[in-house]
Structure 1
Amino acid sequence: MQQEDKLKTISYSGIFLSCFADYSEKCIHATPEHVLVYLYSGEQIIEDRNKKIKLQAGDCAFIRRDHRLKMYKNSKGEDLYKGISLTFNRNVLRDFYSKMNKSEIPKGVKISDKTVFKLEPSPAIESLFQSLTPYFDSNIKPTEGVTHLKLLEGIYALLNSNELFYPILFDFAEPWKIDLLEFLNSNYMEELSMEQIASFTGRSLATFKRDFKKISNLTPQKWLIKKRLEMAYIKLKEEGRKVQGVYMEVGFKNPSHFSTAFKKQYGISPTEI
């Protein structure tokens, strides 16, 4: 997420994130680790494939790792967006699991295929996140010990809220890969770096480049430009759209760059269509 005057992100040990904004912020979010999000004020919309989950003040959601989501963080009336999230990395979860009494782990719990879980209100969740506000409203930095204890408190709160979190939190398999073409065809218009595409599809940058060579002779950058131009051609030719409304929609930021690239591929300028 970009640092801007109207968007402030504070991170302590990479664990707690607090965002404040007086405008709407859209971001594509990769979740390499499990995240627990709590909203103090404003509104947050999490878009997972064709589903939308809306969070308002007091709401909390668990986001599963190794998934790509779109998030919209909005102010609501005079209430600015303000949220905190806890990130549970694998080392913390492995350490927690190693110290558990295994006989107390529920048996036969089916692994859910959901990505985002909106949690029911509970005293455990409420007290956990309310205890974190002083660290973001002042310049006091929590110690490593405090941040670790808050993570453990978050794990206990999840496990006590629903037993389905046991197989999710303590699944230490490697991240899965998602289909590259499916991802690119769905997100060609987004401004993503190669590193982001690799991360969102569950790959290292080197693995992404190697896998991409198996599906195209073009570089990823050239493939994206070609795809954007093809979609622009369809919108202009078959849908009768105007150039001004198309170039940004397909992912170009500059109309002259769009026009030059379009003419190079199709031999005519987009206005001639």
Structure 2
Amino acid sequence: MESPAEILPGVIFYSYLSTERREKVCFWNHHTLILQVSGQFTLETSVQTISMNGGEMLLIGRNQLGTLTKTPAASDPSAGGGHYETIVISLQEDLMRRIALEEKLEAQQKYIGPPNLLIPSNEFLRGYFQSIIPYARNSGAAMTDEMGILKVKEGVKLLLLALPGLRNFLFDFSDPSKIDLEKFMLNNFHFNVPIEKFAQLTGRSLAAFKRDFLKTFGAPPRHWLQDKRLNEARHLIETKHVKPSAIYLDLGFESLSHFSHSFKKKFGFAPTSLVI
């Protein structure tokens, strides 16, 4: 089975791994519900670090950047251990709008809580959890579109039953407003994503993003990002005594050679010359 495999195209996915994997940059266009079957799932964003183990659930807010670390459970032959299994349900906006209309649901006020939430388990959510696992593990068990949509609706209703305040989280369909550009970029500069994605996340067209960026930082986005990442790299190497090979990916560089070349071009010496 491929990993991740689609159970319901574009909506429900199943991920299975036997070795640890870290995914450098992930972008969530839609609210996303993660059902952890086995192993550990760790999400890191600019404002939160959340880990969960088998049997736990996490709701990730839309329009976010982050990194994931997927760690298989400790090997235990008697328990079928050593695996990492996750079910991912994408709560796409079109479907959420449909649910809102059918169930007469709407946000009552602006959601002001954390962007990502661990969902407290209860008997109903555990039953829901178990009802999806057979479809995930058996690639031959077809889930029809109708059945898949019903499963998503069921999950949404159970989330609201567990945490009624999620109504404001799930059913706010307003476009992202122009958020504080300076604060956002200072928190997220290390993510290696296209400029167009940064524009979207700050609620701006590409042209408006470039215009506001130049006004805020006095430099074009790509130039500022490169400069900011290199300055941060020098700070970490000099003050934290970390090796260049340990940080170049975390600072948005695609290869160590690219990082080293850019560093030497800016500062006049190789990053390794700072390593104690």
Q: Which residue is 1:175 aligned to?
A: 176
Q: Which residue is 2:94 aligned to?
A: 91
Matches within 5 A, 1:234-249: 234-235=235-236
Matches within 5 A, 1:85-124: 85-100=88-103, 111-124=111-124
* Inter-partner Cα distance in structure 2 for 1:26 and 1:214: 36
What is the one-letter code of the residue matched to 1:224? L
Residue deviations 1:69-110, cap 9 Å, x none? Answer: 4332211213321111222222222222223357xx99x888
Q: Which residue is 2:127 aligned to?
A: 127
Shift of 1:54: 2.2
Give the counterpart of 1:54 among 39, 44, 51: 51
Shift of 1:211: 3.4
* Inter-partner Cα distance in structure 1 for 2:104 and 2:270: 69
Answering whether residue 11 of structure 2 is matched by residue 15 of structure 1, we say: yes
* Inter-partner Cα distance in structure 2 for 1:214 and 1:11: 46
SS of alignment partner, residue 99 of structure 1? helix
What is the one-letter code of the residue matched to 1:155? V
Shift of 1:225: 1.8
What is the one-letter code of the residue matched to 1:231? E
Shift of 1:134: 3.0
What is the one-letter code of the residue matched to 1:41? S
Residue deviations 1:131-169, cap 9 Å, x none? Answer: 222333223432221111111111211121122122222
Unaligned 5+ segments in structure 1 are: none
Q: Which residue is 1:190 aligned to?
A: 191
Answer yes or no: is the 8 Å Cα contact 2:3–2:14 preserved in 1. no
* Inter-partner Cα distance in structure 1 for 2:129 and 2:178: 33
* Inter-partner Cα distance in structure 2 for 1:62 and 1:244: 33
CA 1:159–1:8 in 2, change beyond 3 Å: closer, same or farther? closer
SS of alignment partner, residue 121 of structure 2? coil
* Inter-partner Cα distance in structure 2 for 1:114 and 1:131: 28
- TM-score, with structure 1 as normaliser: 0.78
Shift of 1:20: 1.4
CA 1:53–1:226 in 2, change beyond 3 Å: closer, same or farther? closer
SS of alignment partner, residue 215 of structure 1? helix
CA 1:202–1:41 in 2, change beyond 3 Å: closer, same or farther? farther
What is the one-letter code of the residue matched to 2:127? S
Answering whether residue 73 of structure 2 is matched by residue 70 of structure 1, we say: no
Q: Which residue is 2:21 aligned to?
A: 25
Shift of 1:33: 1.9
* Inter-partner Cα distance in structure 2 for 1:110 and 1:235: 38
**Identity between Structure 1 and Structure 2 (%):** 28
Count of matched residue positions in the alignment of Structure 1 and Structure 2: 266
Answer yes or no: is the 8 Å Cα contact 2:42–2:49 preserved in 1. yes
User: Aligned Cα RMSD in Å?
Assistant: 3.4
Shift of 1:244: 5.7
Unaligned 5+ segments in structure 2 are: 76-81
Q: Which residue is 2:154 aligned to?
A: 153
Shift of 1:64: 2.5
Which range moves more in the overlay, 209-218 or 30-39? 209-218
SS of alignment partner, residue 103 of structure 2? coil
